[in-house]
Amino acid sequence: MFELMHTPILASLLLSVAIGIIGSFMLINRSQFIAAAIAHGSYGGIGIAIYFGFSLLFTTTLFALFLALILAFITYHDRYRSDTLIGVIWAVGMSIGIIFIDLTPGYHPDMMSFLFGDILMVPQEDIYFMTGVDLFLIISVILFYHRFLAISYDINFALLNGLHVKSIYAFLLLLTALTIVMSIRSVGLILVIALFSIPPFIAEKFSKNFKMMILLSGILGFIFALTGLYISYQFDISATAAIILTAAAAFFGVILFK
């Protein structure tokens, strides 16, 4: 079993690092809707890559980063109507992807893995990309930790202290976009937000400070992934769905008993 699960376990470990870091910042920033727009909008990059024969990973990454910059500008300058604008970006990105895929001749079996994920079949190229993104996330958080916290808890206070809030906020969304792209092949763009929302939510209930929350989020994400992989192997069901349902069971358990 371990030989078959070597790559999925490694992918789960790499995902858990990103879950701990970005998932925690998503929670305190209440930016799950923005992250969902980036995830679903990234489908446009997938469609463009398939139609023109470009690298899926490279094209989707560029498209997601582009969406993150647009969303950073929109949500920073027009917070009161941002939900509508985010929804438009979400729909436009997916529509672009659908149109380009419809225009591409032939059948594309890989599309299901992008929509729903397949952590059992993560290619080596994605493992390298996930490793690079994790290292970049760790370095970025070490360098900008207090600035990220400042804009997350009190933007006005951050402005008064002379921080470049707009740039820091945009950079945080760019990191979110990179994290989403690295997760698409593993858990799919439809389910990725659940995996990045549930562990931090649970971790917050048991953490005394934000650093502990990041660490516990990552640990929980890895536990949910391993449990889901085991259930998937035992019952021959989708690994991604098993992981999400495992996390959801823990989520509802915490709500009921905590």
What is d(CA 138, CA 145) in angstroms, rounded to the nearest whole number? 10
Mean pLDDT of 151-160: 85
pLDDT at 152 over 70: yes
What percent of the chain has a predicted confidence (pLDDT) above 70? 95
Residue 241 burial class via C-beta count within 10 angstroms: exposed 0-12, middle 13-18, buried 19 and up: middle
**CB-CB contact of 22 with 74 (8 Å):** no
Task: For residue 131, give the nearest of 247, 49, 36, 15 by alpha carbon.
Answer: 15
Q: Residue 203: its pLDDT value, please?
A: 97
Mean pLDDT of 144-158: 89
**Average pLDDT over the chain, rounded to an integer:** 91
Mean pLDDT of 64-89: 87
Q: Return the domain boundaries, the chain.
A: 2-251
**100-117 burial, b if ≥16 CB within 10 A, otherwise e?**
bbeeeeeeeeeeebbebb
Indicate the residue type of 40: H
pTM greater than 0.85 (yes/no): yes
**CB-CB contact of 67 with 16 (8 Å):** no
Whether domain 2-251 has CATH 1.10.3470.10: yes
Q: Residue 26: its pLDDT value, please?
A: 94
Looking at 14-23, 47-56, 67-76, 78-87, which range is the least confident one? 78-87
pLDDT at 48 over 60: yes
Q: Residue 196: its pLDDT value, please?
A: 92
Q: Which positions ≥6 away from 47 have C-beta within 8 Å?
A: 96, 97, 98, 99, 100, 101, 104
User: And the tokens for 178?
Assistant: 């990179």
Task: For residue 40, give the nearest of 178, 137, 180 by alpha carbon.
Answer: 180
Q: Residue 101: its pLDDT value, please?
A: 92
Mean pLDDT of 144-169: 90
**CB-CB contact of 161 with 168 (8 Å):** no
Q: Residue 117: its pLDDT value, please?
A: 86
Q: Residue 11: its pLDDT value, please?
A: 95
What is d(CA 12, CA 15) in angstroms, rounded to the nearest whole number? 5
State phi, psi for 25 to the nearest 5 degrees. Answer: -70, -35
Mean pLDDT of 20-38: 93
